[in-house]
Structure 1
Amino acid sequence: MTRLNRILCHAFAAGLLATALPSQAEDITTRAVLEQYSTIVYASYSDSVASARDMQKSIDAFLTAPSQAGLEDARKTWLAAREFYLPTEVYRFYSGPIDDAQGPEPRINAWPIDEGYIDFVKGKTKSGFVNNPKIAITKEKLKSLNERGGEENISTGWHAIEFLLWGQDQNANGPGDRQFTDFVDGKAPNADRRRQYLKIVTELLIEDLESVTQQWQASGNNFRKQFVAGDKASLKKALTGLGVLTRGELAGERMEVAMDTQNQEDEHSCFADNTHRDIIGDVIGMQNVWEGRYTGRDGKTLEGASLKALVAQKNPTIAETISTDIANTLKLSKEIQAPFDQEIIGKKEAPGRKRVQAVIDSLKKQGKNLVIAAESLGIKRLSTKAP
């Protein structure tokens, strides 16, 4: 066989092999993407529950023997638990188990809060149901009080716990500074009711998170089973969660509103001054979903069929563009300086406002490209507006 013939034979064989074995990207199916999405959702919620339980242990220890050190430890575990909850927000906005008609989302992360609805505030030492002995502090009562009479009348969830741990933020350069003595009998009025409330509201948060997590378990006749079998309808749901969090919720409700009002009350975690981390956590969640990858509390990474790979089969340019968009949004988010309530103050050219606006602009671009990506998969009119 001549050298030329050998080359032609090898080339022919290679061509047959390429035909017989499609590339990994060509193998990606909608069902595989939905399976991986569901696996990530379950792992993410499971980590959120586990970190919330760590917080509960610290809070219970503090309530048993209130001290400054105990209060600081409870605050640290609240901040740590938020890091695992925030990336789950990308699983919202499509009537899933967290925010369908019966979903617990309004009890989990509702904001902004009228803190005077819960407890005393500056100038109103007797405000709030904590200081009203006629109101029983039970799980059912707290559920019924949540958003009663107005969306800011929040009685449950992350931000109610945040307020109990930090109190009002009266410091321009730092978070709230509630005293541990607010939980000590004889040192503050209704300290016993305050302790009872903090304990019960924490238990309720964990129960609500657990109820959502169970709907994403791999076995059972639950939401996950329906979701994985949902084909393009479920694909639209996953993209809707990503799109709405990108544009309507994070860029709009959480950042543009605060920029417009320059009001501390319009920032997400105003008592702990944790809003800058809230933004980062949400963007990490977006990246997890788009890339089909999640690194858990145990340090292990789950990686598989992704929305990006599915889109890349139809439009590789837009798939790569969105990955770049999200990476840029994450980079810019990390440049926002704490406290967020000081970043949003001032004129247009103020350094802090420019940093926040850069994230908003990046999110807007990202949202537009997600609509294009959805269209490449045959999904028309993807909504990115907040509900």
Structure 2
Amino acid sequence: MYRYLIASALTLGTLAATPASAAPPAAASAGPSALQASAVVQHYSTLVYANYSDTIAAAQQMQKAIHAFLAKPSPATQNAARKAWLDAREFYGQTEAFRFYDGPIDNADGPEGQINAWPMDESYVDYVVGDDNAGLINNRKLPITKERLAALNEHDGEENISTGWHAIEFMLWGQDLDDHGPGARPYTDFVDGKKPNADRRRAYLKVVTELLLDDLQSVADQWKPGVKNNFRATFDQGGDESLRKVFIGLGSLSRGELAGERLEVAMASRDQEDEHSCFSDNTHRDAVTNAQGIQNVWLGHYQRRNGTVLQGPGLRDWVAAQDPVIAEKTSLQIAKSVASAHAIPAPFDQAIQGARDSAARAKIQATIDSLTQQSKDLVDAAKAVGFEQLNLVEP
């Protein structure tokens, strides 16, 4: 959620690692020869690049749908753009498992805050109920360029979000004022003569989508194979240190971010503004794809956008070579978390409103509890392969 959390994930204690050469024979999926740390690390990099590549391809389809909407605003073209946003989020959500260890998306220079920052103060960007003149769009003195929007993102406040997935989401759906559905921004907001500053609204949506694709591509380029000086070139040679980072990413997303910031905070506040994708009512799917991303990395398994399956040695295989019992326990817990996330009711903003013992809140709490246990199991799994201490992002 907030980038300040990343710092706590990177304050690490002294870590001891079992040399890869000392590992017992690999799990079945790794083949008959002894599994090497380098094989797990390099397959992870392959999986990361594939997931980001699919995200970019889906975002490019979203961009085409947005261009069609802007060229001819109508209910049909608006709905097509909304669907394309939802489709692209299915892939981006899985990439959240690649965060929290000072990688190219969220290191000091990383674009994560421009890509997926939330919650968003809608009035920072456009009109809201009670203020028809709010936001950057209604300030005609402000140029709408990628450079300017990037500079304004989180300027003078972390909720002053002007870029990324959720800025696009707000432009497509508008404020969610419906207890039973998502936002219902009229397509006429983008039609000259129907709403003031419609031309700037069109320009804003076009530019912010271009910026998202630029930022996603900048991250993907750092994971591209065969490049001498990118992040992957060093990561692939990192052995145990790279494996440690992978554990930190999964454990931090499990407890601090997904269970904590994305679910516990909203459960405690019962505030729609604390749900992740509040304009589109897609928060329940965000939870599923985040949980799925953790499972992807653990198993070394990823289903690509074209339906093909990428499979190779994952953390499970590395742990199973040392302690098959904890490997199986962790696998079962991660599967339980994915299943629990699937059971979260939609719309999420209504599910969190019930009594403390309501069935809807119980399902969200079950997901929180499963993810919390999962983070503990991941720490135990890391210990099984020689990492004695992991300081993870905490809620």
State the TM-score, normalizing by the size of structure 2: 0.91
CA shift at 1:277, angstroms? 0.2
Pair member with larger Rg: 1
Partners of 2:307 and 2:69 lie apart in 1 by 29
CA shift at 1:29, angstroms? 1.1
Deviations 1:248-306 (A, max 9, x none): 00000000000110000000000000000000000110110000011101111111111
Partners of 1:93 and 1:386 lie apart in 2 by 11
What secondary structure sits across from 1:130 in the alignment?
A: coil
Q: Which residue of 2 aligns with 1:302?
A: 310
Q: State whether residues 185 and 191 of structure 1, in contact with CA within 8 Å, keep that contact through their aligned partners in structure 2.
A: yes
Q: State whether residues 40 and 314 of structure 2, in contact with CA within 8 Å, keep that contact through their aligned partners in structure 1.
A: yes
Q: State which of 253, 263, 285 in structure 2 corresponds to 1:277.
A: 285
Q: State which of 369, 377, 381 in structure 2 corresponds to 1:373.
A: 381
Q: State which of 219, 222, 227 in structure 2 corresponds to 1:215.
A: 222
Q: State whether residues 243 and 383 of structure 1, in contact with CA within 8 Å, keep that contact through their aligned partners in structure 2.
A: no
CA shift at 1:314, angstroms? 1.1
User: Which 4+ residue blocks in structure 1 deviate beyond 3 angstroms?
Assistant: 19-26
Partners of 2:369 and 2:302 lie apart in 1 by 26
Moved more, 220-229 or 152-161: 220-229
Q: Which residue of 2 aligns with 1:69?
A: 76
CA shift at 1:228, angstroms? 0.8
Partners of 2:157 and 2:188 lie apart in 1 by 31
Q: State whether residues 25 and 309 of structure 1, in contact with CA within 8 Å, keep that contact through their aligned partners in structure 2.
A: no
Larger helix share, 1 or 2: 1
AA matched with 1:160: A
Q: State which of 110, 127, 138 in structure 2 corresponds to 1:131.
A: 138
Of structures 1 and 2, the one with the larger relative CO (CA 8 A, separation 6+) is: 2
- Shift in alpha-carbon separation, 1:332–1:368, aligned structure 2, 3 A: same
Q: Which residue of 1 aligns with 2:48?
A: 41
AA matched with 1:119: D
- Shift in alpha-carbon separation, 1:140–1:21, aligned structure 2, 3 A: closer
Partners of 2:265 and 2:248 lie apart in 1 by 21
Unaligned residue ranges in structure 2 (runs of 5+): 1-23
Number of residue equivalences: 369
AA matched with 1:235: L
CA shift at 1:231, angstroms? 1.2
AA matched with 1:367: S
Deviations 1:308-356 (A, max 9, x none): 0000111111111111011111111111111001111122211111010
AA matched with 1:348: R
Q: Which residue of 2 aligns with 1:12?
A: none
Q: Which residue of 2 aligns with 1:203?
A: 210
What secondary structure sits across from 1:271 in the alignment?
A: coil
Q: State which of 329, 337, 347 in structure 1 corresponds to 2:355.
A: 347
CA shift at 1:21, angstroms? 11
Q: Which residue of 1 aligns with 2:346?
A: 338
Q: State which of 110, 114, 126 in structure 2 corresponds to 1:119.
A: 126
State the TM-score, normalizing by the size of structure 1: 0.93
RMSD (Å) for aligned C-alpha atoms: 1.6
AA matched with 1:170: L
Q: State whether residues 41 and 242 of structure 2, in contact with CA within 8 Å, keep that contact through their aligned partners in structure 1.
A: yes
Moved more, 24-33 or 288-297: 24-33
What secondary structure sits across from 2:322 in the alignment?
A: coil
Partners of 2:240 and 2:141 lie apart in 1 by 52
Q: Which residue of 1 aligns with 2:16?
A: none
Q: Which residue of 1 aligns with 2:90?
A: 83
CA shift at 1:235, angstroms? 0.6
What secondary structure sits across from 1:302 in the alignment?
A: strand
Q: State whether residues 325 and 362 of structure 1, in contact with CA within 8 Å, keep that contact through their aligned partners in structure 2.
A: yes
Partners of 1:43 and 1:340 lie apart in 2 by 30
Partners of 1:385 and 1:26 lie apart in 2 by 35
Q: State whether residues 25 and 310 of structure 1, in contact with CA within 8 Å, keep that contact through their aligned partners in structure 2.
A: no
Partners of 2:69 and 2:271 lie apart in 1 by 32
Q: State which of 230, 236, 256 in structure 2 corresponds to 1:248.
A: 256
Q: State which of 108, 127, 132 in structure 2 corresponds to 1:101.
A: 108
AA matched with 1:71: Q
Moved more, 174-183 or 341-350: 341-350
- Shift in alpha-carbon separation, 1:20–1:297, aligned structure 2, 3 A: closer
Q: State which of 148, 151, 158 in structure 2 corresponds to 1:144.
A: 151
Deviations 1:120-145 (A, max 9, x none): 00001000010001111000000000
Q: Which residue of 2 aligns with 1:286?
A: 294
Question: Within 5 A, what are the aligned runs for 1:145-224?
Answer: 145-221=152-228, 222-224=230-232
Q: Which residue of 1 aligns with 2:17?
A: none
Partners of 2:62 and 2:34 lie apart in 1 by 42
CA shift at 1:22, angstroms? 10
Q: State which of 358, 369, 390 in structure 2 corresponds to 1:382.
A: 390
Q: State which of 310, 328, 343 in structure 1 corresponds to 2:336.
A: 328
Partners of 1:188 and 1:383 lie apart in 2 by 51
2:357 is equivalent to residue 357 of structure 1: no
